[in-house]
Structure 1
């Protein structure tokens, strides 16, 4: 007996586009036209695609018609504004032209309402790293970044920050035992409530990522991610931690949401680029409307990835605290690859994307690291509206990874590390201290954005790779 059931291939052959339109059509046929001939169904759907507006109020096919119209509208190229919106640039003299050009394009998006470029900015995909962009009712996956929820976290301990040979070897052992990077994960990952979140069961892309998220929890990514011991000096008795000014042993971590965030970013970036057609120079800035199903899904998935990134950091610090045999006196943390719903001065809600930028609302604490041989800073935001309550997320690169590998030698990097008294595990030439801007200059360029609460000096650093730097090619 011949089947009367249509397939997605049948629908594509009569012009139905890839995506949720086909799903809506198949669902409508199964629910309301089961038993009808294949010819009847094809002719019906043909009429709908030829004139979807006639079927918008149709009880059975309205959702199909609406989806077709939205798809058609989104397949038309969206024009950029002729003139870009004004925006401030902090530390322009130290920012490469490519990053400025990317920001110029972002400020021409029809959904853009404000923006700012931080002093550590450099070129990326879509929005430059160090770019801050406020949009209306739209979220741009590539303006959040691939490593969703990439963040900083620091804990302070009531222990003397002594880094003699014996103590340094002890701390190295702790880093080797309690920090995992890249493809290395813990054999017995720790449980965490974030893994029980309902989003893992309610959003299709997340269903396939839960096992990977469980296996990677408590670990760090590759690249510029690190776990390190150092000395934090609080500069004043007047601080949010109720701690006296002085020096403390500290653990500082930098990492994100691992494979979970990367796969969310890839999935929703493709959806955005499929439905939001922009000129070629702006294609990586494709957005999802927050009133759409895809936009709502991405927002939920992004927030889950951010909470997962936070959980990874907390587990790293829990392991370090257990090894030290101490409970931390204080913890400071912040995202710097994320999007937030925030109100502007007129009370209008905007979506503020910070891609490599630190939240710096009035009184908000954050961490701005330097390099492995230069200090990082605990900062308190000043709430500067011009910068969209933002500051830099670090020193920023002045040298690409490729150029670093081609031009730097292990000998000069090792001398630099030894002169600075840094003990390093892992890493490579592409993360050498000299690939970064001068953090003191970067901080000077954003004095109107943040005030310094404390300074962190790294001493024992672990990055991706189990080998010591001396053995890395």
Structure 2
């Protein structure tokens, strides 16, 4: 017998209001009434909609009823003044980012925060903003591209072969990557992340499984990339001696899966947690609630999925060029973690910020012509054990497109001996801050272990807007 499968559209058609009740109703019906025919299931849902009080004591349908009889939320006031927070590289952070961080520090659930030197204005929490809250998670404080990630693999192939056999590395990079919104990898791959039981347990994720399977091992648009480059290691690390190596570096996130999760739970948070207009995108979900727990589980699944995407890309490309993996370093940004700070468990959101706890390794990229850095965290309390996630934009995409020409970009790439596949003027190096200045502003946050120099860079053929 076919199992019940409902869509939000089905519930809206019988009068269900937009909001948390639709997700809860789909989950309840598909878990506990899965052998009902769709017509019977919708008839039952309509009865609950018409008489929610009559069902509120029932074990399963009561979960739907309680969402239908909840009173309208009252707007939650924010504090008059922001809590103090540390700012790194203040001299090159725009006022919009500082203003957004000030607002975030006024939330009643906020415990601490920090602003990284690559910070710039975003939506809700600024890119480069770190925010610690008490038992609350802010979907837009994590961001749209959940678990956006850096992954650097160092190979056993001698570094000089990158230039000598550049055509081979370029060919395999093109053949082994797919970029852009909605793009898929064919044939589909198998991966343990696709077997996660949450895909059956949470209604939203059930409907996203097919998209996740289709997009596994692909990359997004905007500033996402996969690139071959040279790695200089400055000290013994992961069994490597100091010296020059060949490396593969990638930057992308959880694709359509993460975007749909972010959109769905941000909408729920804004409906449940009514805030003043200037902080409406900082609406949170209490982790003691069903919605909060659902988002937390979905967010972590999206992070695992982003990691799997990178590992599949690296596995494919390393095999294609006949290499073996010597060492790897990787890290999330656009994520939230449960961490203890000053003896208290907090939810630490890093929206465009790299974890930098004591001894924690990470990668901080520059631009297509500027080096990236392999770093070791110093566990600085004032930054909530965080560092920048890159150089950070210093101009918008539209301004960058208007400010640079294709000839100028080609000349700059040639000067740095970088081959670019795809990309656009909105990603021109001049659109970004000076990575050397950014790194100088966070010497208290990380120690540098090595550098990565891009040489063959692959990006989407047309860069769309992103927030990461």
Structure of greater Rg: 1
Name 1:122's counterpart in structure 2: 120
Matched position secondary structure for 2:456: strand
User: Which consecutive aligned stretches of 4+ in structure 1 deviate over 6 angstroms post-superposition?
Assistant: 7-12, 21-24, 41-44, 55-62
Q: Label 1:127 to 1:198 Cα distance change in 2 as closer, same or farther (>3 A).
A: same
8 A contact 1:11–1:22 mirrored in 2: no
In the superposition, relative to structure 1, how do residues 61 and 427 fare at CA in structure 2: closer, same or farther (>3 Å)?
Answer: closer
**Are the aligned partners of 2:179 and 2:460 in contact in 1 as well (CA < 8 Å)?**
yes
Q: 2: distance between equivalents of 1:61 and 1:361?
A: 45
2: CA distance, partners of 1:45 / 1:333: 52
The CA deviation at 1:57 is 8.1
Partner of 2:251: 254
Equivalent position to 1:389, from 381, 385, 389: 385
**Offset, 1:321:** 1.2
| Distance in 2 between residues matched to 1:22 and 1:254, nearest whole Å | 31
Deviation for aligned residue 1:185: 2.8
C-alpha contact 1:129 1:356 (8 A) present in aligned 2: yes
Given the superposition, is the C-alpha separation of residues 17 and 168 from structure 1 closer, same or farther in structure 2, using an over 3 Å criterion? closer
Aligned with 1:435 (options 431, 438, 451): 431
1:404 lines up with 2:400 in the alignment:
yes
Distance, in Å, in 1 between the alignment partners of 2:165 and 2:241 is 24
**Corresponding residue of 2:318:** 321
**Offset of 1:11 from its aligned partner?**
7.7
Instruction: State the partner residue of 1:3.
Output: none
Which residue number corresponds to residue 141 of structure 1?
Answer: 139
Could you tell me how far apart the structure 2 residues matched to 1:325 and 1:244 are?
Answer: 22
8 Å contact kept, 1:21–1:67: no
Check conservation: 2:359, 2:377, Cα contact below 8 A.
yes
Q: Alignment partner of 2:271: what SS?
A: helix
- Once the 2 structures are TM-superposed, how far is the Cα of residue 64 of structure 1 from its aligned partner? 7.0
TM-score (norm 2): 0.87
Q: TM-score, normalised by structure 1?
A: 0.86
Structure 1 residues 276 and 411, CA gap change in structure 2 (3 angstroms): same
Q: CA deviation at 1:62?
A: 7.2
Q: How far is the alpha carbon of 1:58 from its aligned partner?
A: 9.6
Q: What secondary structure does 1:128 align onto?
A: strand
Note if 1:186 corresponds to 2:185: yes
Residue 306 of structure 2 corresponds to residue 306 of structure 1 = no
The DSSP-based 3-state class of the residue aligned with 1:456 is: strand
* SS of match in other structure, 2:348: strand
Is residue 2:208 matched to residue 1:212?
no
Separation in 1, partners of 2:18, 2:438? 48
293, 297, 301: which one pairs with 1:296?
Answer: 293
How far apart, in 2, do the equivalents of 1:84 and 1:124 lie?
Answer: 19
In the TM superposition, residue 72 of structure 1 has moved relative to its aligned partner by 2.4
1:471 is aligned to none
For residue 95 of structure 1, the aligned residue among 93, 96, 107 is 93
Distance 1:245 1:450 in 2: 19
CA gap 1:98/1:163 in 2 versus in 1, 3 angstroms: farther
Distance across 1 between alignment mates of 2:311 and 2:14: 50
Aligned with 1:333 (options 330, 333, 337): 330
Aligned partners of 1:340 and 1:401: how far apart in 2? 30
SS at match of 1:459: strand
Instruction: State the 1:10 CA deviation.
Output: 8.6
In the other structure, the counterpart of 1:223 is 222
Do 2:231 and 2:451's aligned partners in 1 also have CA atoms closer than 8 Å? yes
Q: How many aligned positions are there?
A: 437
1:21-71: CA deviations, max 9, x gaps? 9977xx99x99xx9xxx9xx899949x59xxxxx998999976785467x4
Work out whether residues 424 and 462 of structure 2, in 8 Å CA contact, stay in contact via their aligned partners in 1: no
Distance 1:59 1:259 in 2: 34
Unaligned runs of 5+ in 1: 1-6, 50-54, 468-473
- Alignment RMSD (CA, Å): 2.9
Change (3 A) 1:279 1:174: same
Give the direction of change, closer, same or farther, for the CA distance of 1:8–1:263 in structure 2 (3 Å limit).
closer
1:449 equivalent in alignment to 2:445: yes
Describe the shift of the 1:163–1:462 C-alpha distance in structure 2 as closer, same or farther (beyond 3 A).
Answer: farther
How far apart, in 1, do the equivalents of 2:355 and 2:406 lie?
A: 36
Q: Aligned partners of 1:60 and 1:223: how far apart in 2?
A: 43
* 1:20 correspondence with 2:21: yes
Query: In the TM superposition, what is the alpha-carbon distance from 1:369 to its structure 2 partner?
Result: 0.3
1:122 match: secondary structure: strand
Equivalent residue, structure 1, for 2:160 = 162
- 1:312-365 residue CA offsets vs partner (Å, 9 max, x unmatched): 00001101110121211011100011000011122x211000000000000000
